[in-house]
Chains A and B, each alone.
Chain A
Amino acid sequence: MAKKNVAVEATAESSENAIALHETAGLSQGQIIRKRFFRHKPAVASLIALIFITLFVFSASGIHLGTDQHPITIPGWWKYTLTDIPDTNFCGIAVGCPNWQHPFGQDPIGRDYFALVMRGAEQSIMVMLVVGLIGGVFGTVIGAVAGYFRGWVDAVLMRFTDFIITIPSIIIGAVIGFKFGNLGVVALAVYLGLFSWTGLARLVRGEFLSLREREFVDAARIAGAGNIRIIFKHILPNAMGVIIVAVTLMLAGAILLETALSYIGFGVQAPDVSLGSLISEYQDSFTVSPWLFYWPGVLIISIALCVNFIGDGLRDAFDPRQRRRITRRDLIKATFKKPAEEA
């Protein structure tokens, strides 16, 4: 009865609050976050699209690891590979227009462009994942240790972070790519990952600095938990939101960095291909055979766009201050349903 009165008399804002509270009542933190994330439609659509693109690309092109001398290859379902040179079809002034045989067309040499683009996308996704993994782990651990122990550990680690920040990522990427580009894309990704954790480390440190002063940390310590246990079991789960969001943005940055490096010739080296190197190679044939230019770009944009939207959805889901927009429909639903439920 009291609740009913509140719902009727409350101002717009407190009734919105009531709806938000009602929706999350009785759910665990994880459930709330999942629920919020799945309400963010662009993010869910992007997640589905990204999973689809990844599966499609990897299954079409196969998986290529190892170096040129010792390749480890799992073939994909697409009939052509990078080295195949099927017959070229002619169409007007251009060669190798898209047709059923070659859905993305053929490049001037006659290589199947679908195979090239899929391979490039495979490289880019691989770089993205490896950079995210390495950068995420390094950034989290360094930031956590610095923020938790403070004092000289913090000073040393943060000066080290500053030190890495002074080296612009594109410079280090170019030096690395130029020197080690032919070791294969995974090596490139590992090196890039080793230099891309700085922003995350600072964020995690800030989060740890404030979280370590909270009561639950004292409680854990009194209960006899050691430093490692407190860091990983008690504080880290609370900092997870910041970390996940920062890592997603790092992923989008990584794919753009890799393609940019390959574009200026410091990333993935020929004969291997990357989305960046494909664009660099065929940008001049834009007027004659535009498909050679569009497809790699479309893939870069769709992957980066999906990752960014997922990051946005996660940010909303993890941020307790972020309230969903309460639509008029929700208000009506809440006003009419609640009494019925209570009855």
Chain B
Amino acid sequence: MLSFIGRRIGVVLLILFGSSFIVYNLEAVAGDPLADLRTSSAKNKAFLIAQLTRTLHLDVPPPLRYFQWLKGVLGVFTGNPDLGKTRDGLLVVNEIAAAVPITIRLVLGATILAILLGITVGVITAIRQYSRLDYSMTFLSFLMFSLPIFWVAVLLKQYMAIDFNNFLASGQITPPWIIGASVVMGLILAGLISGDRKRVWMIFGITAVATAALLLVVNLTNWILVPGLGIVGVGLLAAGVAVGLTSLIVGFENKRVLYASLTVVLATVIGYFPINAFWKGKDLNAVVMLFPLVGLVLVAVVAAVAFTNVDRGSAIRTTVVGSVFAFLFLLIDKLMQTWGQYINADGINLRPIPTIGEVSVRLSSNDFWIALMDALVHVLLPTIALTLISFATYVRYSRASLLEVMNMDYIRTARAKGLSERTVIVRHALRNAMIPLTTLMAFDFAGVLGGAIITESVFGWHGMGTLFRAAISTQDLNLLMGVFAITSFMAVMANLVADLLYSALDPRIRIGK
């Protein structure tokens, strides 16, 4: 195994060496960094050319210059990598170090969201194969598959940002919208739940009325401008998730796990005011903010261990996932409390959803929650756009994979020995169906650093994609190679990690023989 990894890393380094050598020389030959200076009419043209030649070592022929560059890159091993200078004389390392966190912020959330949502929907459609839901989700996922992101982005900017901001001026949902939303919700739920005609109509009616009532309450309490869940809301949501997770992962009849999950909910409710007080503290940062999560997870583990004595693994899994959700609800509640303050802040003025940029420059507040809110509203539209598009891939793959597994003999065996359908799917089918998806995930995470060129350009973010575009259009070889080095390294590592994960998860696949 170790020798396999060693050999693979050796091959990876060779490949990286080869591809970077070729790209470097291709780009050096194809693009002339002095082109715009040669045609310029500046008086000190000769001086500028000489200066640029010196900083970029243009007098060295490209193949040799590549090795100069490579020597700098190999500095990674001694702790001070040197990727050369950009045309403006800035250090490429610093430029990339500044761009990477921005890109991660842009893409990571969308990737995780797409994976979670996509797999969930894919699994549901596979279980309900050939249902109305399956057909409509198949159509939707093909549609999303075919969407150009730059086109969706413009629509999102218009309808989710500009129009929503206009709507916030009053914050009251108008009657046509209430009726429309109720009908749509009714149709969706009636489409989800199958049954005879009478039942479908009943579901439609109940959902539509419930939605309309909910929206009326929202209007009456002016919830859109002053939202909040409150201790009751957080408790109810956390309890709902706890019950749902328990029935999904271990089955509702397993009362001990249910009690353990509800203990976590109780801890959340008891901790509601202390946690909120803690979050009001002065020097809060992203790490300190997460302390309550650690506490809740600890409670979850202890509760699971205390309540159960068999199959503790899945009990702990259930309670821990439940505690993460509980924490998320607490966080959402806190953000909702910040919302009113945020939209009325200077530089926001009731137009909170931005169409471009990664932070509001005019926002003058150093409060942690305001800053977090600001980051979140900025990442909102890009995340929706990216999620829409990569979501479809996960739906298709997880559906196909689960369907294939469900046809296997061991599933029939599991059913034949009388296991419940939940156990068959969650314990036997799902785990094996998810193995092929690891490859996809590994590549998606690798693509996080390089893959959002278009998105960054549409939403005006200054991450790796912007660097890359600038590098291409200004013939900035060192900058281009810097971006390339990072993205190609991530790509080959993803390849390797995917292979290793695959063999770790699927014992039938042996590597390194």
Determine whether A57 belongs to the interface, using a CB cutoff of 8 Å to chain B. no
Listed A/B pairs (28) with beta-carbon separation below 8 Å = A42-B139, A162-B11, A162-B15, A162-B495, A163-B15, A166-B15, A166-B491, A167-B488, A171-B468, A171-B484, A171-B487, A178-B472, A260-B148, A260-B150, A260-B454, A263-B148, A263-B454, A264-B469, A276-B148, A276-B150, A286-B158, A297-B148, A300-B148, A300-B151, A301-B147, A301-B151, A309-B142, A312-B138
Which residue in chain A gives the minimum CB-CB distance to B487?
A168
Task: State whether A168 touches B457 (Cβ < 8 A).
Answer: no
Determine whether B453 belongs to the interface, using a CB cutoff of 8 Å to chain A. yes
Flag A285-308 by CB within 8 Å of B: 1 or 0 each.
011000001001100110011011
Taking A167-B23, A305-B142, A321-B404 as known contacts, 19 extra A-B pairs with beta carbons closer than 8 A to each other, sorted by chain A number, are: A159-B14, A162-B495, A165-B495, A166-B16, A167-B19, A170-B454, A171-B450, A171-B487, A174-B453, A175-B30, A252-B146, A256-B146, A259-B148, A263-B454, A263-B457, A286-B154, A308-B142, A312-B142, A321-B407
Determine whether B149 belongs to the interface, using a CB cutoff of 8 Å to chain A. yes
Task: State whether A304 touches B151 (Cβ < 8 A).
Answer: no
Once bound together, how far apart are the Cα atoms of A279 and B15, in whole Å? 38
Once bound together, how far apart are the Cα atoms of A104 and B447, in whole Å? 38
- From 283 to 338 in chain A, residues with beta carbon under 8 angstroms from any chain B beta carbon are 283, 286-287, 293, 296-297, 300-301, 304-305, 307-309, 312, 321, 325
Chain B interface, >50% SS class: helix
- From 247 to 270 in chain A, residues with beta carbon under 8 angstroms from any chain B beta carbon are 252, 256, 259-260, 263-266
Q: B453 contacts which chain A residues (CB < 8 A)?
A: 170, 174, 264
> How many residues on chain B are close to A (CB under 8 Å)?
45
Q: A263 contacts which chain B residues (CB < 8 A)?
A: 148, 150, 454, 457
Interface centre among B130, B404, B472, B473, by most chain A C-beta atoms within 10 angstroms, is: B472
Q: A264 contacts which chain B residues (CB < 8 A)?
A: 453-454, 457, 469
Once bound together, how far apart are the Cα atoms of A325 and B131, in whole Å? 11
Once bound together, how far apart are the Cα atoms of A167 and B485, in whole Å? 10
Q: B23 contacts which chain A residues (CB < 8 A)?
A: 167, 175
Interface centre among A165, A265, A307, by most chain B C-beta atoms within 10 angstroms, is: A165
Task: State whether B454 touches A305 (Cβ < 8 A).
Answer: no
Which residue in chain A gives the minimum CB-CB distance to B129?
A325
Determine whether A280 belongs to the interface, using a CB cutoff of 8 Å to chain B. yes
Determine whether B305 belongs to the interface, using a CB cutoff of 8 Å to chain A. no
Q: A260 contacts which chain B residues (CB < 8 A)?
A: 148-150, 454
Q: A178 contacts which chain B residues (CB < 8 A)?
A: 472-473
Q: A280 contacts which chain B residues (CB < 8 A)?
A: 150
Min CB distance, B469 to chain A, in Å?
6
Once bound together, how far apart are the Cα atoms of A280 and B150, in whole Å? 8
Once bound together, how far apart are the Cα atoms of A296 and B150, in whole Å? 12
Q: A229 contacts which chain B residues (CB < 8 A)?
A: none
Min CB distance, B73 to chain A, in Å?
15
Once bound together, how far apart are the Cα atoms of A163 and B138, in whole Å? 34
- From 138 to 169 in chain A, residues with beta carbon under 8 angstroms from any chain B beta carbon are 159, 162-168
Determine whether B169 belongs to the interface, using a CB cutoff of 8 Å to chain A. no
Which residue in chain B gives the minimum CB-CB distance to A324?
B130
Q: B148 contacts which chain A residues (CB < 8 A)?
A: 256, 259-260, 263, 276, 279, 297, 300-301
Determine whether A179 belongs to the interface, using a CB cutoff of 8 Å to chain B. yes
Is the interface on chain A under 10, 10 to 19, 20 to 34, or 35 or more residues?
A: 35 or more
Once bound together, how far apart are the Cα atoms of A153 and B68, in whole Å? 33
Q: A164 contacts which chain B residues (CB < 8 A)?
A: 19
Which residue in chain B gives the minimum CB-CB distance to A155?
B11
Contact of B15 among A159, A168, A287 (CB under 8 A): A159
Which residue in chain B gives the minimum CB-CB distance to A164?
B19
Which residue in chain B gives the minimum CB-CB distance to A265?
B473
Min CB distance, B143 to chain A, in Å?
6
Contact of A168 among B14, B130, B451 (CB under 8 A): B451
Task: State whether A174 touches B149 (Cβ < 8 A).
Answer: no
Once bound together, how far apart are the Cα atoms of A259 and B450, in whole Å? 18
Q: A265 contacts which chain B residues (CB < 8 A)?
A: 473
How many A-B residue pairs have C-beta atoms within 8 angstroms? Tell me: 113
Q: With A166-B16, A263-B454 given, is the CB distance from A174 to B146 under 8 Å?
A: no
Interface centre among A164, A168, A276, A293, by most chain B C-beta atoms within 10 angstroms, is: A168
Q: B284 contacts which chain A residues (CB < 8 A)?
A: none
Q: A309 contacts which chain B residues (CB < 8 A)?
A: 142
Q: A174 contacts which chain B residues (CB < 8 A)?
A: 453, 468-469, 472
Task: State whether B146 touches A304 (Cβ < 8 A).
Answer: yes
Which residue in chain B gives the minimum CB-CB distance to A42?
B139
Once bound together, how far apart are the Cα atoms of A304 and B19, in whole Å? 31
Q: A297 contacts which chain B residues (CB < 8 A)?
A: 148, 151
Q: A159 contacts which chain B residues (CB < 8 A)?
A: 11, 14-15
Once bound together, how far apart are the Cα atoms of A170 and B491, in whole Å? 13
Once bound together, how far apart are the Cα atoms of A300 and B146, in whole Å? 8
Min CB distance, B134 to chain A, in Å?
10
Q: B31 contacts which chain A residues (CB < 8 A)?
A: 179
Task: State whether B154 touches A293 (Cβ < 8 A).
Answer: yes
Task: State whether B492 touches A166 (Cβ < 8 A).
Answer: yes
Q: B454 contacts which chain A residues (CB < 8 A)?
A: 170, 260, 263-264
10 tightest A-B contacts by CB? A304-B146, A297-B151, A166-B488, A305-B146, A166-B19, A283-B154, A179-B30, A263-B150, A325-B130, A308-B142
Flag B8-26 by CB within 8 Å of A: 1 or 0 each.
0001001110110001001
Q: A256 contacts which chain B residues (CB < 8 A)?
A: 146, 148
Task: State whether A279 touches B151 (Cβ < 8 A).
Answer: yes
Determine whether B69 belongs to the interface, using a CB cutoff of 8 Å to chain A. no
Determine whether B95 belongs to the interface, using a CB cutoff of 8 Å to chain A. no
Task: State whether A165 touches B491 (Cβ < 8 A).
Answer: yes
Determine whether B145 belongs to the interface, using a CB cutoff of 8 Å to chain A. yes
- From 138 to 174 in chain B, residues with beta carbon under 8 angstroms from any chain A beta carbon are 138-139, 142-143, 145-151, 154, 158
Q: B130 contacts which chain A residues (CB < 8 A)?
A: 325
Which residue in chain B gives the minimum CB-CB distance to A280?
B150
Determine whether B82 belongs to the interface, using a CB cutoff of 8 Å to chain A. no
Min CB distance, B165 to chain A, in Å?
14
Q: B30 contacts which chain A residues (CB < 8 A)?
A: 175, 179
Min CB distance, A320 to chain B, in Å?
12
Once bound together, how far apart are the Cα atoms of A175 and B472, in whole Å? 7
Which residue in chain B gives the minimum CB-CB distance to A323?
B407
Min CB distance, A316 to chain B, in Å?
11
Q: With A162-B15, A179-B30 given, is the CB distance from A266 to B472 under 8 Å?
A: yes
Min CB distance, B16 to chain A, in Å?
7
Once bound together, how far apart are the Cα atoms of A171 and B146, in whole Å? 21
Min CB distance, A242 to chain B, in Å?
14
Q: A307 contacts which chain B residues (CB < 8 A)?
A: 146
Which residue in chain A gives the minimum CB-CB distance to B16?
A166
Q: B26 contacts which chain A residues (CB < 8 A)?
A: 175
Which residue in chain B gives the minimum CB-CB distance to A162?
B15
Once bound together, how far apart are the Cα atoms of A304 and B147, in whole Å? 8
Q: With A264-B457, A300-B151, A321-B404 given, is the CB distance from A308 to B146 under 8 Å?
A: yes
